[in-house]
């Protein structure tokens, strides 16, 4: 489980309880998804490499550190992953953004791809795939495979909520990928929903139900 990072900071737990509450409306749900993405981004970027640089402060020269190495891209899985984009951009405003459109067939629970657009230099970037929900893991596993097809070597997956089944699926298909989650729930129900979960993240972000 060393590739699974459960970020159980009190602020994340508090905000997640707001998302779980069925009485939380669209506006607040959207805002809190974004805030959680910002807090998770802080942790998921903890290992970014630094380089020493010299700057002139108003007082003296200082050797300080700036982010170096490969640049970052984020890839939200449409639709629900879009809700996490602004929260990431708050901390790393210059990241490039690729998009993968997937929906889960309600009968088979298999992901169906309907859109894909990546930055042209994606192969030179480290990538964080974003999706609030990791249920069966089919969507995340497919999204990671698509990103790998572009030649990306270093991929992280960021989900707000995961089921054990989804974590197991991604670890089996992509053992190289670090997974960042705010909580791991008990199980999936017969419809592939996370229990207790928070319902359908895309519908709650976009108010489509
Ligand atoms: C949801 C969610 C994930 C997927 C998770 O998307 O946002 O992408 O289901 O399920 P899985 O782990 O079993 O694949 P959905 O298919 O509902 O599409 P949406 O984001 O457009 O609502
Ligand atoms: N997708 C969601 O949005 N919620 C779930 O519980 C499972 C898949």
Identify which ligand lies nearest to the alpha carbon of 195. 2
Q: Are strands 133-134 and 155-162 parallel, antiparallel or unpaired?
A: parallel
Catalytic residue list:
104, 108, 200, 203
Determine contact, residues 70/94, Cβ cutoff 8 Å: no
Query: Tokens for 97?
Result: 């953004």
The atom number, within ligand 2, closest to the CA of 201 reads: 3
Give the nearest ligand 1 atom to 104 CA.
16
**How much is the pTM?**
0.96
Q: Which atom of ligand 1 is nearest to the CA of 138?
A: 14
Distance 52 CA to ligand 2 centre (A): 43
Q: Name the residue of 131, 135, 161, 191 whose CB sits within 8 Å of the most ligand 2 atoms, as the mutation to test its pocket.
A: 135
pLDDT tens by residue, 190-202: 999 999 999 999 9
Peptide bond into 79 cis (omega under 30): yes
- Is 79 near ligand 1, meaning CB less than 6 Å away? yes
CA of 25 to the centre of ligand 2 (A): 17
pLDDT tens profile 96-154: 999 999 988 888 988 899 999 999 999 999 999 999 999 999 999 999 999 999 999 99
Q: Do residues 140 and 159 touch, judged by C-beta distance below 8 A?
A: yes
Mean pLDDT of the chain: 96
- Specify the range with the lowest mean pLDDT, choosing from 25-29, 83-87, 110-114, 175-179: 110-114
Coil vs helix vs strand at 32:
helix
Q: Whose CA is nearest to atom 5 of ligand 2?
A: 193
Q: Which ligand is nearest to the CA of 164?
A: 1
pLDDT score of 45: 96
Mutate to test the pocket of ligand 1, among 75, 100, 102 (most ligand atoms within 8 A of CB): 102
pLDDT of 89:
97
pLDDT > 90? residue 205: yes
DSSP 135: S
Token look-up 């629970």 returns 109
Atom of ligand 2 nearest to the CA of 200: 3
User: Per-residue pLDDT tens for 59-104?
Assistant: 999 999 998 877 999 999 999 999 999 999 999 999 999 999 998 8
Exposure of 22 by Cβ count < 10 A (0-12 exposed, 13-18 middle, 19+ buried)?
Answer: exposed
């Amino acid at each position: 489980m060393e590739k699974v990072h459960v970020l159980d900071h009190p602020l994340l737990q508090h905000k997640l309880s707001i998302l779980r509450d069925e009485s939380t409306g669209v506006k607040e749900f959207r805002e809190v998804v974004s805030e959680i993405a910002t807090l998770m981004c802080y942790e998921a970027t903890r290992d970014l490499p630094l380089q020493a640089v010299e700057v002139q402060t108003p007082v003296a020269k200082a050797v300080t550190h700036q982010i170096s190495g490969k640049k970052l891209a984020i890839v939200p899985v449409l639709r629900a992953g879009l809700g996490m984009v602004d929260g990431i951009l708050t901390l790393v405003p210059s990241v490039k953004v690729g998009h993968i459109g997937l929906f889960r067939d309600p009968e088979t629970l298999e992901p169906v791809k309907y859109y894909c657009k990546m930055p042209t230099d994606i192969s030179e970037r480290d990538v964080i795939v974003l999706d609030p929900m990791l249920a069966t893991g089919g969507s995340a596993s497919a999204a990671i495979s698509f990103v790998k097809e572009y030649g990306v070597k270093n991929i992280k997956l960021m989900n707000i909520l995961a089921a054990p089944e989804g974590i197991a699926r991604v670890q089996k298909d992509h053992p190289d990928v670090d997974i960042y989650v705010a909580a791991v729930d008990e199980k999936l129900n017969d419809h592939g929903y996370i229990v207790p979960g928070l319902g359908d993240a895309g519908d709650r972000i976009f108010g489509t139900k």
